[in-house]
Amino acid sequence: MYKKIALLSWLLLILAVSVHAQRAYRFDLKDDIGPNAWRTVKNAYSVAAESGAELILIELNTYGGMVNFADSIRSRILDSPLETVVFINHNAASAGALISLAANRIYMSNGSSIGAASVVNQSGEIMPEKYQSYMRGLMRATAEARGRDPKIAEAFVDGEVALPGIKPAGKILTLTSAEALKIGLIEAEVSSVADVLAAEGVDLSQVTVHRITVIDQLIGFLINPAVSGILILLIIGGIYFEMQTPGIGFALVIAIIAAVLFFAPLYIQGLADNWEIALFVAGIVLVLLEVFVIPGFGVAGILGIVFLVCGLAFSLVFNDYFNFTVVAPGMLFNAFLLVIVSMVMAIVLLVVFGKSMLNTRAFRRLVLQDEQRAVEGYTSSKMDLELVNKSGIAKTVLRPSGKVEIEGKWYDAVALDGFIDIGEEIYVERQANYNLFVRKRRET
């Protein structure tokens, strides 16, 4: 009888534990800390909260990344009502150390390491004190928020911090899993995610694994610097092509599509802001005004190019209205370099291959080619008119295309000089199909 009661009590206890078992949500951070990692964290925490999870498990293996996104991730962890557990599976260097310190509890696999959080440039050289000071502050504040020793967090950044019994002054702190366990920085050394869940009292059946969506993969692809460079090339190339051959249309469509693909993922990731996109649009407007409205090439054109370049470059790096404090060293320079090189390549390619592109079969398919029959009132200027060397007046500004008047009739014309102002006298140098190619008449 007593055995039956004991067995029944045991079964009821197991049932109660299973009913009240803690739900966990798990995701990985195994690449450089950047916009993709930040997007993963945002999505994972949102889905975890909606699914009723009580604990989030992050499996971390990174050598670091961009400080601004690491700061955003650690702030999201600190602000979340859900408990966060980090499992360091091999490496938690630099930005990875900052994220780890933000967690409620840390576990490490045997042979893993944490630390080495000094700010360095792309060559691995230590950056000036202002960068280190900012990182030291982040590390100290994060450690204090979780009740950890801020001196240890500071020693991850500053080699001058001495920790008796742990490290002497003069070396940046990096801890192995055994060393981290000895000083109480981590909960335990474990072998796998299953060991972490067991230590946290979470049943495997109560764990939901975060899934990367197709949209996430697409955004990650589009913000790749190489892809961004191609999109910039298409933007500039499309605009340049449209200005050189007005009325084609498809070149402008390509430029607009490329601009949307360039800015949209950056906007979603929190890189591009409204003012940066507005700066880019203002640049385009100023360039078009300079080309089609304002005579010559002056302030508007120069400002337009500057706005256009800055709008594209600033969108590639995180900043708060020109405050680049948290931008990794060299990133702003690389952003400007990417934009300028892409623009130059676009113009060079169009100058070199532009004419041959106009004659390709693919190009002719993209351009509307209506049949114009004589019975419908259409005539060919090439057959009926001989206007070479005749003089006339520019009836619109030619930049380079426009309208001219010769012997009382208006014709489409292209200025071989590049620009002819309205009212200036011109003469026809040559004629091809339906276009007259004209030059400004010089006084003799």
pLDDT by position in tens, the chain (length 444)? 544 544 454 444 444 444 445 799 999 999 888 888 988 999 999 999 998 899 999 999 999 888 888 988 999 999 999 999 999 999 999 899 999 999 999 999 999 999 988 877 666 667 777 778 888 889 999 999 999 999 999 999 988 888 888 888 888 899 999 999 999 999 999 999 999 999 999 988 889 999 888 888 888 888 888 898 999 999 988 887 777 665 556 778 888 899 999 999 988 877 788 999 999 999 988 888 877 777 655 788 889 889 999 999 998 887 777 776 656 666 788 889 989 998 888 878 777 765 555 555 555 555 444 444 544 444 444 444 578 888 899 888 887 778 888 888 888 888 887 778 888 899 888 887 667 888 888 765
Supply the pLDDT for residue 296: 58
Supply the pLDDT for residue 326: 59
Render the burial of 239-252: b for 16+ CB within 10 Å, e for the rest.
bbbbbbbbebeebb
CATH 2.40.50.140 positions along the chain are: 374-440
Cβ atoms of 439 and 427 within 8 Å: the answer is: yes
Gap between the Cα atoms of 350 and 352, Å rounded? 5
Residue 405 pairs with which residues in a beta bridge? Answer: 393, 410
Count CB-CB contacts under 10 A for residue 78.
16
Gap between the Cα atoms of 211 and 284, Å rounded? 39
Residue 414 pairs with which residues in a beta bridge? Answer: 401, 437
Tell me the CATH number of domain 19-212, given options 3.90.950.20, 3.90.226.10, 3.40.50.1980, 2.40.110.10. 3.90.226.10
Length of the chain measured in residues? 444
Supply the pLDDT for residue 13: 40
Phi first, then psi, for residue 439 (nearest 5°) are: -130, 160
Q: Which helix (H) or strand (E) holds 308?
A: helix 299-315
Concatenated DSSP letters of 93-128: ETHHHHHHHHSSEEEEETT-EEE----B-TTSPBPP
Q: 398-406 — which CB contacts under 8 Å span 24+ positions?
A: 398/438, 399/291, 399/292, 400/244, 401/246, 404/436, 404/438, 406/436
Going by their DSSP bridges, the two strands 391-394 and 207-209 should be labelled as: unpaired
Task: Kindly list the distances between the CA atom of residue 75 and the CA atoms of 81, 145, 153, 268, 323, in Å, as whole numbers in the listed order.
Answer: 12, 11, 16, 19, 19
Residues with Cβ within 8 Å of 368's Cβ and at least 6 positions away in sequence, in order, are: none
Supply the pLDDT for residue 200: 93
Residues with Cβ within 8 Å of 313's Cβ and at least 6 positions away in sequence, in order, are: 332, 335, 336, 338, 339
Show the DSSP H helices in 146-213 as ranges. 150-155, 177-182, 193-199
User: Tokens for 73?
Assistant: 């991730």
CATH 3.90.226.10 positions along the chain are: 19-212
Cβ atoms of 441 and 425 within 8 Å: the answer is: yes
Tell me the CATH number of domain 374-440, given options 3.40.190.10, 2.40.50.140, 3.30.365.10, 3.40.50.150. 2.40.50.140
Amino acid at 188: A
